């Protein structure tokens, strides 16, 4: 078994909440994430993501876009951290050179679109 297969095996059962307001990105990234994680829940904005998270509190990782209507990713992340300060959060953004690690709000910050290498980075962080 190679390193990538070992990583996939370690993280495959983790529950992922993916939040993005762009339908094309949601569909493409959701399909991509399901190649690595068996349980992916997809939401279209921060309010919906927070509502789903709050109902179950049963996620291992939150991957969220930063810029969204209704509630942006940073606000949603702060509210989730109020519920579980140890929640593993990944920000994705189309913006370049943005500082997103302030106040320990996220574990990883990535540029859209998520790549195979990005997923490997996430799996390595989760596998530790």
Q: In this predicted model, what pLDDT tens digit does every residue of 17-53 receive, in sequence order?
A: 999 999 999 999 999 899 999 999 999 999 999 999 9
Listed residue (36, 53, 51, 46) closest to 72, CA to CA: 46
Q: Which CATH superfamily is domain 3-127 in?
A: Response regulator (3.40.50.2300)
CA distance 126 to 128: 6
Residues whose CB is less than 8 angstroms from the CB of residue 108 and which lie 6 or more positions away in sequence, other chains included: 90, 91, 121, 122, 125
| Segments making up each domain of the chain, as ranges | 3-127
**Residue whose pair of structure tokens reads 């959701």 in the numeric block:** 30
Mean pLDDT for 118-128 is 83
Tens of pLDDT along 67-78? 898 999 999 999
Average pLDDT, the chain: 89
Instruction: Indicate whether this model's pTM tops 0.75.
Output: yes
pLDDT band of residue 96 (cuts 50, 70, 90) is low
């Amino acid at each position: 078994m190679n390193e990538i297969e070992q990583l996939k095996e370690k993280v495959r059962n983790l529950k992922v909440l993916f939040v993005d307001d762009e339908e094309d990105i949601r569909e493409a990234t959701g399909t991509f994430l399901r190649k690595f994680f068996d349980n992916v829940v997809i939401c279209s904005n921060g309010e919906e993501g927070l509502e789903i998270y709050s109902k179950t509190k049963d996620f291992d990782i939150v991957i969220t876009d930063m810029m969204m209507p209704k509630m942006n990713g940073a606000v949603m992340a702060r509210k989730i951290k109020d519920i579980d300060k140890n929640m593993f959060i990944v920000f994705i953004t189309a913006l370049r050179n943005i500082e997103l690690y302030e106040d320990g709000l996220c574990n990883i910050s990535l540029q859209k679109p998520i790549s195979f290498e990005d997923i490997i980075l996430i799996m390595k962080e989760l596998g530790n």
